[in-house]
Structure 1
Amino acid sequence: MTLEQLRVFVAVARALHMTRAAAQLHMTQSAVSASVAALEASCGVALFHRVGRRIELTEAGRAFVPEADAVLARAAAAETVLADLSGLRRGRLALQASQTIANYWLGPLLNRFHQLYPDIALSVVIGNTTQVAAAVREGTADLGFVEGEVEEPLLARTAVPGDRLVLVTAAGHPFAARRALTPADLFELPFVLREPGSGTRQVFEDALRASGLDPAGLKVVLELPSNEAVISAVAAGAGATVISDLVAAAGLATGTLRQLPLGFPARRFYALRHADRYHSRAAQALTALMQAPEAARAAPAAPTSRPRPRARR
């Protein structure tokens, strides 16, 4: 049994499809099938049922998935510790970020990090605030970045300046000409909002509750899973939305959107990490860069990697 066989097994168990798992692993389908067969032969038990063209986990396979996950997690943790011993000359960071942060805020930060530490590999997955918190809690992400409030005892938060929510409609909307609005006026508008679990929606609804208003009374005509879809629907006249000023900036600049005169407080973004898991030097460096970007930008770069001697055979 090898770590590679475990990685292949977990990928197939998640996808329940050899070809899809092979694509995710950047392997051929025959290589994936051979790896699964070798693992089954080494442990002397069938892990999958072959039902026509479909595959299903056997009882043994279902029981083995969390054990394989645990072994892979321990191996990744050991690799992280060894990478730290190299002094940020190698390693990797798995990140997950909410849409607003990933698409409009995180890119410049990661570019500066890469300039300082070019040998640290970065991967980013995009989800909503709920999904990001779950990834950090479960250990599939080293750091998460969210704009919503996350209250979980297992997650440590680091706050940084974020953005501000704005109320916008299409430029030709009847409300676009209004010079004043109150929070109660929002209940006259049809709304296009992000899905439940989105940090943007959470902050908007919390602001309504702080004004003594129930968000359940809003006329929500569309719930959409991305900022871009929300802005597109609003610009087409579907209704109003409350969204990050970073997201609305392009539409406001071109005149397709109009900002209505109702202010929202500035909000902070948060970096999440698991309070009980090892916090690698790479994760610490990225957190420090996030908290003091101007100082980190001027910091000297990490030492470059030295050529490694070839192992003797």
Structure 2
Amino acid sequence: MKLSLRQLQIFCAIAQQGSTTSAAIAVSLSQSATSAALNELENALGTRLFDRVGKRLVLNDNGLALLPQARRMLENAQQIETRFLPGHAELKTRLRVGCSTTIGNYVLPLILGELRQSAPHLRVDVDMANSMAIARKVADFEIDMGLIEGPCHLPELNAEPWLVDELLIVASQRHPLALRQQVSLDDLRTAEWLLREPGSGTREEVEQLLLRHLHNLAETHQIGSSEAIKHTLAQGIGISCLSRWVVRDLLVSQELIELPHALPMLTRRFFLIRHRDKFISPGLGRFWESCGQFANQPFLDLCRK
């Protein structure tokens, strides 16, 4: 066999770091040895894997095609090593979990707290981004699994419905619509809306739910995080549709109120996602199981934590 796992490890490091110098530090080799390993890999495959753009190495089409396969092989090799270590060391492994920002800020910390009690040696590294970016990282084997808001459209992933999340239309008590006993559909259409960025699971779900009834929103502003949106709302600026997880603290303090409207209850699903070819290690299985157990707890019990 012409290829080695070490070559693939170095290739992945260069792809991530963008240079042989930085990759050499990541894999504990000299820069010359790192460059030599890349040359050997490219010679074995009979093709270039990177284009040089200034001082950076950027994956070309061949490199982009190889990257997820290389990560998969390295993942499988790591799982083999872990499985045969003594003392059930698979439960002492470090997982890479990706999640969208709402889940990462408000839900995942509760899961990690419970997991620490049942699997104290399991370590979880958390990567937070919008749902689209997390799904792409799971598809490319950059992370072990994802917890996202809304459905996933990548065919290489398995998506399991998870939590039911309630979305509330909220505003400051100082907002003019807060004085209404009933907010009409026309009031909602013509209001100033604060929404997440495209690619956010919240943005996708909110648009689908609202436009089904309102058909269009006259004025929208994009803000890059739900935290920023809710604190902007508290200043009396605009209205928004946000997860109850996000706004429950400001509802309790009465800095925000839920607007009374004629729309049906707005809900969405959170999803657990993993690659169809992903090996389910005992550690990953334990984390997945903990997420399922968490979903069976009443929401009011979770709110009191």
Shorter-chain TM band: 0.7 to 0.9
Q: Which residue of 2 aligns with 1:243?
A: 242
Q: 2:72 aligned with 1:70, yes or no?
A: no
Give the equivalent residue in structure 1 for 2:131: 129
Distance 2:231 2:6 in 1: 44
Cα shift at 1:49: 8.1
- Match of residue 278 from structure 2: 277
Unaligned 5+ runs, structure 1: 297-313
Partner of 1:79: 78
1:286 equivalent in structure 2: 287
Counterpart in 1 of 2:199? 197
Contact 2:50 2:58 in 1 (8 A): yes
Kept after mapping to 1: 8 A contact 2:148/2:271:
yes
1:54 aligns to what? 55
Give the corresponding residue for 1:114.
116
User: Are 1:171 and 2:173 matched, yes or no?
Assistant: yes
Distance 1:18 1:152, change over 3 A: closer
Structure 1 contact 50–56 (Cα < 8 Å) conserved: yes
1:205-264 deviations in whole A, cap 9, x for unaligned?
2222433x324x3410x2122111212322233311111111112222333322211363
1:219 paired with 2:190, answer: no
Instruction: Say if 2:264 is the partner of 1:266.
Output: no
Q: CA–CA distance in 2 between the matches of 1:58 and 1:122?
A: 29
Give the Cα separation in 2 of the matches to 1:143 and 1:274: 7
Alignment map for 1:25-44 (pairs within 5 Å): 25=26, 33-40=31-38
Instruction: Give the RMSD, CA atoms, in angstroms.
Output: 3.4
Q: What CA deviation, in whole Å up to 9, does each residue of 1:35-81 have, x standing for no partner?
A: 43342575697987888x8234597xx74565465334212122224
**TM-score, scaled to structure 2:** 0.78
Task: Tell me if the contact between 2:178 and 2:259 (Cα under 8 Å) persists in the aligned partners.
Answer: yes
Query: Does the 8 A contact of 1:94 with 1:123 survive in 2?
Result: yes
Identity %: 27
Question: Which residue identity is paired with 1:70?
Answer: Q
- The letter of the residue matching 2:201 is G
Distance across 1 between alignment mates of 2:14 and 2:49: 10
Return the offset for 1:4.
5.5
Give 1:6 deviation, angstroms.
Answer: 4.5
CA distance in 2, matches of 1:277, 1:44: 27
Please state how far the C-alpha of 1:149 moved relative to its aligned partner: 2.1
Q: Which moved more, 1:106-115 or 1:151-160?
A: 151-160
**How many Å apart are 1:285 and its aligned residue?**
1.8
State how far apart, in whole Å, the 2-side matches of 1:118 and 1:65 are.
37
Residue identity in the other structure for 2:234: A
Distance 2:65 2:192 in 1: 45
Q: How does 1:145-156 map to 2 (within 5 A)?
A: 145-156=147-158
Q: Mark the CA change 1:42 to 1:256 in structure 2 (over 3 Å): closer, same or farther.
A: same
Whether the 8 Å contact between 2:14 and 2:20 is mirrored in structure 1 is: yes
Q: Which amino acid aligns with 2:37?
A: L
Distance 1:151 1:65 in 2: 20
Structure 1 window deviating more from structure 2 (260-269 vs 159-168): it is: 260-269
Q: Normalising by structure 1, what TM-score?
A: 0.76
Residue 193 of structure 2 contacts residue 238 of structure 2 at CA under 8 Å; is this kept in 1? yes
Q: Contact 2:67 / 2:140 at 8 angstroms: preserved in 1?
A: no
How many equivalent residue pairs?
Answer: 286
Letter in 1 for 2:79: T
